[in-house]
Structure 1
Amino acid sequence: MLCISFTRIVNLLLLLSAANVLAGPLASRGPRIVHEKRSPHAAATWQKHRRVDARAPVPIRVGLKQRNIHEIEDLLYSVSDPASPKYGQHWEYHEIAQHFAPEDETIAAVKEWLAEEGFGPERVRLTSTKGWIEIDATFGEAERLLDTEYHVYRHDDGSEHVGCDEYSIPAHVRHHVDLVTPTVNVMRKRTSSDNPRRSLSKGGIVRGPKTNGKKVAAAVLPTDLSTCDTMITPDCLRALYNINMSPTETAVNTFAIVEFTPQSYVQSDLNMFFANFSPSQVGTTPILVSIDGGEPTATVENSFDINGESDLDFEYAFALTNPQPIQLYQAGDAVEGASFNNYLDAIDGTFCTFQGGDNPQFDGIYPDTARGGFKGAESCGIVKPANVISVSYGGDEAAVTAAYFQRECTEYAKLGMAGVSVFYSSGDNGVAGNGGECLTTRNQESTRGTRFNPGFPVSCPFITAVGATQVDPGNPVTAPEGACEQVIFSGGGFSNVFGIPSYQSSAVASFFANHPPPFTAAQFNNSKTSRGYPDLSANGANYVIAIDGEFSLVFGTSASSPVVASMVTLINDARIAAGKGPVGFINPSIYSSAFASAFNDITHGGNQGCGTAGFTAVTGWDPVTGLGTPNFPNLLAAFLALP
């Protein structure tokens, strides 16, 4: 499958299924183009149940094409590439908003189209960010506007949603519109009867650490580095990556970790961990940034599935960055939950898709009218994004339409322009997607599929994807690590949507030239022109965590992401102390020759999945462990050498 550059994908996304349709009752409507189709995954898992009542109300939201969006890649690299004279000259958020605000021509064209379809100015509202146009309509009016039919779709678990298979817009308007909601993006909607273990959040976000069920008695907790192959502790990580630094700029430096309700840390677990591994931090707690009613005690149930991720993230991030304060972006109430869009709304007021883009079948919609739901206004730009953000959750590319995650990926580029480093775990199923699902020949997710299933947002070229390594069984902590092959396999592969970013082109070309994988185009995107991931890795096996009042072992890239984010937080601290700014988007730097000595190359192990051995870790970059694991002193020195 041939991929294209990110900057060109904007126009081509709108041509996914070009087709003319019959003109409607108004001659002014002109030719129509199919703008979006339901993803094959959604088509396979949701069945039409009944037509929607045409008289029922529906809020239609039109996402407007942003101005200058074709420049975003170059603008991001201009402040992120160490070879650029503008390196580190990050933008202010109001400058970003102004630069990408839709053209007046775009707003006028969409309003004119709506007027031709009978929507007078009193029914059409432009949001304050100028990114969306809102229309209160009936389903009958929406069907006529979009040349479509709305149905209630039913999942085999009994849940339902309202949507359509595809929709069309006039050819002369399509260049002004990103997407229209609610239409084709469909995800399972949580209900009050759902078991939160099966639904960590909205939008198919289901990752979390894994366990082999082993408990660790307090009497045998490690006190030295002799057992790092079976029990990872903060001291093991410091030894593995030569971390020997205490931050001094904690009053101005910032670090945040995102959690999606019902995931919740337990303070007594944090205290239990700190008492054994970082005594001075007993009583330390994250700084809560509540997004859409999110609270760390949103559920009274204690279990590994509820508390494992959040406990892991904060126990290790706090220990490695002590005494750095850490913000908790807790997203979603206990009834509705939250999506990536909800948390992006909260940290960037210019994004705020809830003003016209959030899909009630995919994102949390607030105020939450359900019993016990959050009744406050939806969070919009409530906090300035931290310098470093770590997210240990993810979904699959195949789960939503290209237009939907295109807009989301663009937001990560804007965060990078503002100097924010965003890290995502690469997944725990090797070349497979969540739940071990792979793709069929029809691009549908299935446990019987054989085609590799890339993740998202890790495939977005504007975030840093973090894979997992391990201290091989029986080896000392000083021995080279391998790719993680215990309980989990490091997520990695090649995007089916995003083209290869320029910073990665040489590394990917070298991988294919020197270590061609033994798979065909029937199994993965072998075009050599697509985004590869992960970008780098850190240990992801045998972490000792305090969870629900006892010590257990956990595994996953869920651990790797906050560990790498912690190291970059320390690097930002050192740069701030030297009178410099945060590093921001790190990918153009770490792939450059100046950073060649900043990583420990991982050259053995694989990431099996989809009935194959997966890719293999080799010399140089690979789609298992990326560039390797950080050599912290060298990585620090390389970033301190930059302006």
Structure 2
Amino acid sequence: MRIPIFTAASLALAVLPCLAVPSYYVSRDNGCEHQVKESITPPHGWTKYAAAPPYHTITLRIALSQPHFSTLEQHLAEISDPDHPRYGAHLSAEEVDALAAPHSDSIRLVDEWLAGHGLKDSDIARSSSKDSLSFTVPVKLAEQMLDTEYNVWRHDDDEYILRTTRYSLPAKLHAHIELVQPTTIFARWKGLKSHLFYEDVEVQTKTLASPLMNVNNFNVVGGGILPAGRVDPNCNYTITLNCLRQMYNIEYTPQAIDQQRIGITGYLEQFANIEDLQSFYKMQRPDALGSDFEYFSVAGGINNQSIEAAGTEANLDVQYAFGLAHPIPGVYWSTAGRPPFQADIATVRNTNEPYQEWLDYMSSFPNPPAVISTSYGDAEQTVPRSYAVNVCRGFAKLTARGVSLIFASGDGGVGDGNPDPETQKCISNDGRNATRFSPLFPATCPYVTAVGGTNSYPEVAVYFSGGGFSNYFPRPAYQSQAVNQFLGKLGNTYQGLYNRFGRAIPDVAAQGRHYAIHSRGKWASIGGTSAAAPVFAAVISLINDARLAQGKSVLGFLNPALYKSAIPGLNDITEGNNPGCGTNGFSATDGWDPVTGLGTPDFLKLKDIYTNMP
């Protein structure tokens, strides 16, 4: 994409009052017809720091209205319902693009508006369905286009971003534009990793000092499928691939390995290190030694292979997803940029929101992996509703193509993603400043499968497992019966602290503590729902393989079949809770609960269920 050149003189003319400039300099909206499109109160923890540097460039992304999205939703409902004749008949990329395309009037009017501000077609990048477009302009021009004022905002954790709390659009464009970002989004998209979950010194010391952690003895931990479903007791202190095989009955040799792939997304300069992966394979999966993954760069993303740059989140994700699913091929995407804006103007950083960037890239990505796991998110209320809805629609487009999207549910219990209950900010962002449970997005999107956490064996809910109810998305029909049963038992407990009509998370769970990973040249113990998500993704990838070997389709959007047919293939977790916001949180119980969802996978049972579906 070419960045248009704007001189100081042309920018000065552009921001003068519309009646004071010659007509050929005035944008087509005249700068006088704007109406507020979106206005927010900045989330807690953010304060205005400084005015935005006027000539710093910013990449604006515009989402256009999608008049046929309800039709796409209907297709998705049919192809993901195991009782529907169309089950598994996933849509092609072209079919999805046709259903996601904006009206031609929307494209024309927005293009005219952009041209009026000096942007040429060659300056604009468009998604394959033309429902999203992006371009790079100086902040000064962005402010004039949106009738707003950008500022540098500082978070209590000493992070900086470039944002505004209100922006406007010409009145004639309101029906055609869903949102413009980055403007009002204050999410930090934290990796849901577990450097904080070396949970306590005693457990950490016991785990890391144990002879079982010595690389020479490492492969004896969880030595394989044990008789009668037994699990090696050492797995209570150290989770390995073999521990997961034992706990979840993963006894299967892939047969259709050339027919699908499993993917991991990487953000915030998290790099998946190949040297660490080989060291991990040497001790935990020797038959995978020498195998690699396919790497794709999104928006200039890199995958720095310096051992010092290895990311614990990225290493955790690829080692367990690809290790469990081997030899099914793996894919890793690195999306460039991170939200924090450096106060030093000479070293400013990208202010993009990574999910829109990645989704635009994926809209034209051929043959996407059948399963994709993501371990990033932030408190839902830090994300404008318009942004959450638009990104969620992007996920729906991918699932309609037959992709199972797996997201970690969060590491803050019922809180805001902060794993320390003492410092959680569970204050509503609606002007009331009331205490409110705070689920994480994108896990709350109804088109993804959210994964919570457990620990120990027999399994109990891990205390930090993110769970609760969305304040943005209504509860989808596929989970109504299971969730209503839980709410009936909950009664009036926590009334007013959560939205009892919202999309409920998590959907499922997996182990979330004491994972042994190899990172930056040494072994470490780590945990979080970011560990549970790639494990569940690997289980689904292996089930896909069994279906493909029978000539059937991959599973695609999982949730309708999970809640309708797959419950007998899940281990119901009935102990534990997820404290936060000054409460004990929700409790695990019989059936679905907002700590462990429907439960953890029993691979052999799930494989039988899914391979007997059409």
TM range, smaller chain: 0.7 to 0.9
Root-mean-square deviation over aligned CA pairs: 3.3
Q: How many Å apart are 1:147 and its aligned residue?
A: 4.1
Does structure 1 conserve the Cα–Cα contact (< 8 Å) formed by 2:222 and 2:242? no
Residue of structure 2 equivalent to 1:547: 519
How far apart are the structure 1 equivalents of 2:139 and 2:321?
48
Deviation for aligned residue 1:61 = 5.1
Look up the match of 2:247. Answer: 240
Q: Deviations over 1:502-538 (max 9, x none)?
A: 10111111111123362121x222xx31000000001
Q: Which residue of 2 aligns with 1:63?
A: 63
Match of 1:398, SS state, is helix
Instruction: Give, in whole Å, the separation in 2 of the partners of 1:454 and 1:512.
Output: 17
Match of 2:605 in 1: 634
Instruction: Provide closer, same or farther for how the CA distance between residues 637 and 127 of structure 1 changes in structure 2, counting only shifts above 3 A.
Output: same
- For residue 440 of structure 1, the aligned residue among 413, 423, 427 is 427
Gaps of 5+ in 2: 1-16, 20-27, 224-231, 339-348
1:75-86 residue pairs with structure 2 within 5 A? 75-86=75-86
Deviates most, 412-421 or 169-178: 169-178
Equivalent in the alignment of 2:583: 612
**Within-5 A mapping of 1:46-57:** 46-47=47-48, 49-50=50-51
Question: Match of 1:484?
Answer: 462
Task: State the 1:631 CA deviation.
Answer: 1.7
Deviations 1:314-354 (A, max 9, x none): 332233223222112233279759822333233223xxxxx
| Residues 80 and 87, structure 2, Cα contact 8 Å, conserved in 1 | yes
The secondary structure found in structure 1 opposite 2:191 is coil
Task: Note closer, same or farther for the CA distance 1:122–1:50 as it changes in structure 2 (3 Å cut).
Answer: closer
Distance 1:407 1:271, change over 3 A: same
Are residues 75 and 295 of structure 1, via their aligned partners in 2, closer, same or farther at CA, if it must alter by over 3 Å? same
Query: Secondary structure, in 3 states, of the residue corresponding to 1:581?
Result: coil
1:409-558 equivalences in 2 (<5 Å): 409-436=392-419, 437-443=424-430, 450-472=435-457, 479=458, 481-485=459-463, 489-516=464-491, 518-521=493-496, 523-525=497-499, 528-558=500-530
Tell me the equivalent position of 1:322. Answer: 326
Contact 1:262–1:299 (CA under 8 A) maintained in structure 2: no
Kept in 1, the 8 Å contact 2:381–2:429? The answer is no
Structure 2 residue matching 1:439: 3-state secondary structure? coil
Matches within 5 A, 1:31-430: 33-41=35-43, 45-47=46-48, 49-50=50-51, 62-110=62-110, 119=117, 128-129=126-127, 130-132=130-132, 145-153=145-153, 161-186=161-186, 203-209=188-194, 210-212=197-199, 213-214=204-205, 215=208, 216-218=213-215, 221=218, 222=221, 224=223, 225-297=232-304, 299-301=306-308, 306-332=310-336, 339-349=354-364, 381=365, 384-430=367-413
Alpha-carbon distance in structure 2 between the residues aligned to 1:148 and 1:310: 37
TM-score by length of 2: 0.81
AA matched with 1:275: K
The answer as to whether partners of 2:124 and 2:135 remain within 8 angstroms in 1 is no
- Superposition deviation, residue 204 in structure 1: 2.8
| Displacement after TM superposition at 1:454 (Å) | 1.0
For residues 134 and 180 of structure 2, the distance between their equivalents in structure 1, rounded to whole angstroms, comes to: 10
**Amino acid of the residue matched to residue 561 of structure 2?**
S
SS of the equivalent of 1:211 reads: coil
Instruction: Name the counterpart of 1:191.
Output: none
Distance in 2, Cα, partners of 1:121 & 1:552: 50
Distance 1:516 1:429 in 2: 23
> CA separation in 2, counterparts of 1:511 and 1:34?
41
Secondary structure at 1:518 match in 2:
coil
Query: 1:27 and 1:251 mapped to 2: Cα distance?
Result: 53
Structure 1 residues 417 and 279, CA, compared in 2 at 3 Å: closer, same or farther?
Answer: same
Tell me if the contact between 1:387 and 1:420 (Cα under 8 Å) persists in the aligned partners. Answer: yes
**In the TM superposition, what whole-angstrom CA distance separates every residue of 1:546-588 from its partner, at most 9, and x where no partner exists?**
3334333222111111111111111111111101110001100
Which string of whole-angstrom CA distances, capped at 9 and with x for unpartnered residues, describes residues 62-98 of structure 1? 4321230233322211111112221111111011112
Give, in whole Å, the separation in 1 of the partners of 2:462 and 2:138: 52
Tell me how far apart the structure 1 counterparts of residues 406 and 431 of structure 2 sit (CA, whole Å): 27
Identical pairs, percent: 34
Aligned residue type for 1:566: A
SS in structure 1 opposite 2:314?
helix
CA distance in 1, matches of 2:303, 2:138: 38
| CA deviation after TM superposition for structure 1 residue 500, in Å | 0.6
Distance 1:278 1:421 in 2: 25
Q: Which amino acid aligns with 2:444?
A: S
Taking the aligned partners of 2:297 and 2:29, their CA distance within structure 1 comes to 50
Match of 1:562 in 2: 534
What is the CA–CA distance in structure 2 between the aligned matches of 1:77 and 1:502, rounded to whole Å? Answer: 10
**In structure 2, the residue corresponding to 1:301 is in which secondary structure?**
helix
| Length-normalised TM-score, structure 1 | 0.77
Aligned 8 A contact 2:517 2:525 in 1: yes
Q: SS at the partner of 1:227?
A: helix
Q: CA deviation at 1:259?
A: 2.1
On the 8 A contact 1:63/1:180 being kept in 2, the answer is yes
Q: How has the CA–CA distance of structure 1 residues 36 and 217 changed in structure 2, closer, same or farther, with 3 Å as cutoff?
A: same
Q: 1:233 to 1:456 in 2, by over 3 A?
A: same
- Partner Cα distance (1:316, 1:123) in 2: 44
Which residue of the partner structure matches residue 23 of structure 2? none
CA distance in 2, matches of 1:27, 1:260: 37
Distance in 2 separating the partners of 1:136 and 1:577: 47
Q: Which amino acid aligns with 2:334?
A: Q
- Give the Å deviation of 1:60: 5.7
The corresponding residue for 1:16 is none
Instruction: Report the equivalent of 2:544.
Output: 572
Taking a change above 3 Å as real, the CA distance of residues 519 and 581 of structure 1, as seen in their structure-2 partners, is same
For the residues of structure 2 that align with 1:97 and 1:563, how far apart are their CA atoms?
A: 31
C-alpha displacement at 1:404, in angstroms? 1.4
